[in-house]
A and B are shown apart, each in its own frame.
Chain A
């Protein structure tokens, strides 16, 4: 079994260990398009992206959300994740190296376990925010 964070010992205000992804590649955007079924050409075809005023292809926002999903389920088991919400605030491009951070904002113990609420953000190599969000874990036995 994988090693997760010791969630029972988390404290409010604590930062979780950041996770940095490999740089985004154009091949990855094509692969994500095929996997997700989002075939908007601004993610896969530089010429089409340029026609809409972009420099070239941009990453799918939901791919970056997928990176955050990966980070959450690296910190905690998948079955604990109860709510996951993101706001897409910046475009991500091929070559960007995305780091996912999270901070505990609230912990509450209830009859069904420990509820842990965290703020999260995905940033590029320059610290520019691509996405900010929040997730809620229900830590049970």
Chain B
């Protein structure tokens, strides 16, 4: 059960490096043929200095590679197998390119209990700020995580 006393809490930051090969892997898995993600020349022709990240690339920063998401869920007392992803939002403050190192910091915004026909659930809203090496915010993310508590 999500620990309501953690609302407002900010978790220790994780560091995430943007790697070219991971961008390639992600667009290959999605099946997105857009050349700007893999071909620097195509990216330059659209005004980029290098290949930009595809819109959903930043989900990688939450996963196994950093363990960020798992630490947050663990601190909130939410078992992974009870988790469903409800919503995801990205606000892009500038384009991000390979070799950049981003620091992500997550804050718990709210935890709300909801009763539905399929059971009781907690809706956990978390916000994550991604900052570049100079400390400037480059991306804001919000995730709504659903914990299925009981039938």
A residues sitting closer than 8 Å to B (CB atoms) are 1-2, 21-22, 28, 31-32, 34-40, 52, 61-63, 65-67, 69-70, 72-74, 77-79, 81-88
Chain B residues with CB under 8 A of A32: 26, 29-30
Question: Complex formed: what's the CA distance from A65 to B42 in Å?
Answer: 24
A8 to chain B, nearest CB (A): 17
Cross-chain contact A63 with B29 (CB below 8 angstroms):
yes
User: Which of the segments B3-11, B43-51, B109-117, B126-134 contacts the partner chain?
Assistant: B43-51
Contact with A along B112-151 (1 / 0, CB 8 A): 0000000000000000000000000000001000000000
B residues sitting closer than 8 Å to A (CB atoms) are 22, 25-26, 28-32, 34-36, 42, 45-48, 52, 54-56, 59-60, 63-65, 80-81, 84-92, 95, 142
Q: Which of B31, B32, B80 has the most chain A CB atoms closer than 10 A to its own CB?
A: B31
27 pairs of residues in contact across A and B, judged by CB atoms under 8 Å: A1-B42, A1-B45, A28-B29, A31-B28, A35-B22, A36-B60, A36-B63, A37-B65, A62-B56, A62-B85, A63-B29, A63-B30, A65-B56, A66-B30, A66-B55, A69-B54, A70-B34, A73-B32, A73-B55, A77-B47, A78-B36, A79-B47, A79-B52, A81-B92, A83-B92, A85-B90, A88-B86
Cross-chain contact A69 with B52 (CB below 8 angstroms):
no
A90 to chain B, nearest CB (A): 12
User: Contacts A52-B81, A73-B34 hold; do A83 and B59 have CB atoms under 8 A apart?
Assistant: no
A115 to chain B, nearest CB (A): 13
| Nearest-neighbor residue (CB-CB) of B80 within chain A | A40
Cross-chain contact A78 with B85 (CB below 8 angstroms):
no
Cross-chain contact A35 with B26 (CB below 8 angstroms):
yes
User: Contacts A35-B22, A73-B55, A78-B55 hold; do A87 and B86 have CB atoms under 8 A apart?
Assistant: yes
Chain A residues with CB under 8 A of B81: 52
Cross-chain contact A83 with B89 (CB below 8 angstroms):
yes
Question: Complex formed: what's the CA distance from A22 to B29 in Å?
Answer: 12
Chain A residues with CB under 8 A of B34: 2, 70, 73-74, 78
Question: Complex formed: what's the CA distance from A5 to B114 in Å?
Answer: 41
Question: Complex formed: what's the CA distance from A36 to B61 in Å?
Answer: 9
| Nearest-neighbor residue (CB-CB) of A73 within chain B | B34
